[in-house]
Amino acid sequence: MDERIAVVTGAAGGIGSATARYLARAGAAVALIDVKAESITGLAAEITAAGGRALPVRCDVTDPTQVTAMVRTVAREFGAPHILVNNAGVLRDGALHLMSETDWDAVHSVNLRGAFLCARAVYKHMARARWGRVLNLSSVFALGSVGQVNYATAQAGLEGMTRALAVELGPFGITVNAVAPGLIETPPAEGADGLMGADGVRSALVADTAPLRRTGRPEDVAATLAFLAGDGASYITGQTIHVDGGLPLGRLPLNVCGVGN
pLDDT in tens, 86-112: 999 999 999 999 999 999 999 999 999
pLDDT at 62 over 70: yes
Give the mean pLDDT of 173-196. Answer: 73
CA distance 221 to 236: 17
What are the angstrom distances between the C-alpha of 9 and each of 118, 148, 176, 215, 235? 9, 22, 16, 23, 24
Where are any strands of DSSP class E within 100-163? 132-137
What would the pLDDT profile of 205-261 be if each residue is shown by its tens digit? 555 667 887 778 999 999 999 999 999 999 999 999 999 888 764 455 444 444 445
Q: What is the mean pLDDT of residues 134-160?
A: 93
Nearest by Cα to 74 from 166, 4, 158:
4
Active site residues: 151
User: Residue 190: pLDDT band by 50, 70, 90 thresholds?
Assistant: very low
Q: Are 196 and 215 spatial neighbours (Cβ–Cβ below 8 Å)? A: yes
This prediction has a pTM of 0.91
pLDDT score of 194 more than 80: no
